[in-house]
């Protein structure tokens, strides 16, 4: 069984190379990475949610059309195919990361602890703020507990873990986006949501501290996307006030909020670098990578007339409805997913994730201080 899983993962990696542009082949191999570890939410989940509960197993992510473009079956990835973490693993010359909740999987080259719908703050802290976390209780702190359970099972002692993890790359996030999304869609004001930022940033910094203390040397901490450009927000907060939109028809107030979160996150990262001078801590700029994708969409093969429409969805200007989301009965899928940026109004298509991953590698590789 284990051999079968390894062969399947290697086959996926080899097949996926054909999906990469010529300039993209294994740029992270200069880092000589042995493992990659991922914490986060639906942007990175490769199958934990659908395995952790009956609710997860019944979610749309557990069935087609999710996964249909590449895997031809649902894997728990919240897209039509591969995610950024998949392309990042391939760029490092490693197999795709298995979800930690797959008890039959091999974790020789790292593990994925991300859970779709998860939050940076524990659910009980959100509950005190009268914010419910409707998808999962596996917040960042829970994922960290899973990670350390895993490390305790593979390391003899602290020194052994430091040795085992010295050639690893850790991604702490993206995380926190769901905290804000749940708050906004449950009626919290922008001022109330903005007041959550310091606490969420500190939760992310605490996670970075924990992985460094366990032996992590290279850590990437991604920021938030420009959420005002996403169909779910464009639909949920639609307004007739044209001044509320920027030149890309994104909601300015929501994008300003994302920038505020990212600014706070970057300042906290700079402080953490002083705290841990021997660790390499890199900010992952999802915000500007996505803005670059919007600006370069036509040159990257995307349909310029449908940049803010969901491929899998129905209704309204953005082909999205909260009442009938992707995976619901009779919700159609577009004919050419690789021509659209948004898959289901919340997550991106495989093609968009591929372009995003390439841009992020381009930006972060010099900062990782790998051998040339």
Average pLDDT per consecutive 10 residues, the chain (372 residues; last block may be shorter): 45 48 66 96 98 90 96 96 97 96 95 98 98 97 97 91 94 98 98 98 98 96 98 98 96 98 98 97 98 96 96 96 95 97 98 97 92 60
At residue 167, the pLDDT reads: 95
How many domains, the chain?
A: 1
The CATH number given to whatever domain includes residue 86 is 3.40.50.1110
* Residue corresponding to tokens 């087609």: 64
Cβ atoms of 357 and 335 closer than 8 Å? no
Q: Which of 291, 310, 275, 276 is nearest to 224 (CA)?
A: 291
Tell me, letter by letter, the H, E, C secondary structure of the chain.
Answer: CHHHHHHHHHHHHHHHHCCCCHHHCCHHHHHCCCEEEEECCCCCCCCCHHHHCHHHHCCHHHCCCCCCCCCCCCCCCCCCCCCHHHHHHHHCCCCCCCECCCCCCCCCCEEECCCCCCCCCCHHHHHHCCCCCCCCCCCHHHHHHHHHHHHHHHCCCHHHHHHHHCCEEEEECCCCHHHHHHHHHCCCCHHHHHCCHHHHHHHHHHHHHHHHHHCCCEEEEECCCCHHHCHHHHHHCCCCCHHHECCCCCEHHHHHHHHHHHHHHHHHHHHHHHHCCCCEEEEECHHHHHHHHHHCCCCCCCCCCCCCCECECCCCCCCCCCCCCCCCCCCCECCCHHHCCECCCCCECHHHHHHHHHHHHHHHHHHHCCCC
At residue 17, the pLDDT reads: 45
At residue 20, the pLDDT reads: 52
Q: Is the Cα dihedral 130, 131, 135, 136 positive or negative? A: negative
Q: Taking each helix axis from N to C terminus, what angle separates 350-364 and 286-295, rounded to the nearest 10 degrees?
A: 120
Tell me the CA distances in angstroms from 326 to 19, 84, 172, 233, one per residue in order: 24, 20, 27, 16
At residue 4, the pLDDT reads: 43
> What does the alpha-carbon distance between residue 226 and residue 258 come to, in Å, rounded to a whole number?
6
Please classify residue 278 by burial: count the beta carbons closer than 10 Å to its beta carbon, then call 0-12 exposed, 13-18 middle and 19+ buried: exposed
At residue 356, the pLDDT reads: 97
Q: Which of 143, 267, 284, 288 is nearest to 220 (CA)?
A: 284
Cβ atoms of 61 and 78 closer than 8 Å? yes
> Residue 136: CB partners within 8 Å, gap ≥ 6?
49, 52, 53, 55, 56, 115, 116, 117, 118
Cβ atoms of 134 and 117 closer than 8 Å? yes
**Domain extent for 341:** 2-368
**Phi then psi dihedrals of residue 221, to 5 deg:** -120, 95
> What does the alpha-carbon distance between residue 12 and residue 155 come to, in Å, rounded to a whole number?
29
What do you get for the CA distance between the two ends of the chain, in Å?
A: 38
Cβ atoms of 147 and 37 closer than 8 Å? yes
């Amino acid at each position: 069984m284990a051999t079968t899983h390894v062969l399947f993962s290697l086959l996926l990696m080899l097949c996926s190379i054909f999906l990469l542009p010529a300039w993209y082949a294994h740029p992270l191999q200069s880092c000589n990475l042995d493992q990659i570890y991922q914490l986060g939410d639906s942007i990175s989940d490769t199958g934990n949610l659908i395995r952790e509960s009956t609710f997860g197993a019944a979610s749309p992510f557990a069935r087609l059309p999710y996964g249909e473009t590449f895997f031809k079956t649902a894997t728990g990835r919240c897209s039509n195919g591969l995610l950024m973490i998949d392309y990042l693993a391939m760029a490092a010359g490693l197999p795709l990361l298995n979800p930690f909740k797959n008890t039959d999987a091999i974790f020789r080259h790292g593990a994925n602890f991300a859970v779709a719908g998860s939050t940076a703050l524990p659910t009980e802290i959100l509950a005190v703020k009268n914010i419910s976390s409707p998808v999962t209780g596996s917040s960042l702190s829970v994922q960290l507990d899973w990670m350390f359970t895993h490390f305790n099972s593979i390391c003899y002692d602290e020194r052994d873990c430091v040795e085992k993890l010295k050639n690893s790359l850790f991604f702490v996030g993206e995380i926190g986006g769901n905290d804000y999304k749940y708050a906004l869609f449950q009626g919290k004001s922008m001022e109330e949501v903005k007041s959550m930022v310091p606490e969420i940033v500190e939760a992310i910094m605490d996670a970075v501290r924990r992985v460094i203390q366990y032996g992590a040397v290279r850590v990437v901490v991604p920021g938030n996307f420009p959420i005002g450009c996403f169909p779910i927000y464009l639909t949920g907060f639609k307004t007739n006030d044209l001044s509320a939109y920027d030149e890309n028809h994104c909601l300015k107030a929501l994008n300003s909020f994302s920038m505020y979160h990212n600014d706070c996150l970057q300042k906290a990262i700079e402080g953490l670098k002083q705290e841990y001078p021997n660790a390499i801590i890199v900010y992952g700029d999802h915000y500007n990578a996505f803005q670059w994708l919007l600006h370069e969409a036509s040159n990257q093969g995307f349909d310029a007339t449908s940049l803010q429409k969901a491929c899998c969805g129905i209704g309204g200007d953005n082909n999205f409805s909260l009442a009938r989301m992707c995976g619901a009965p009779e919700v159609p899928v577009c004919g050419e997913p690789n021509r659209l940026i948004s898959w289901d109004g919340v997550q991106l298509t495989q093609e968009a994730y591929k372009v995003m991953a390439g841009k992020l590698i381009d930006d972060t590789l010099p900062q990782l201080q790998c051998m040339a």
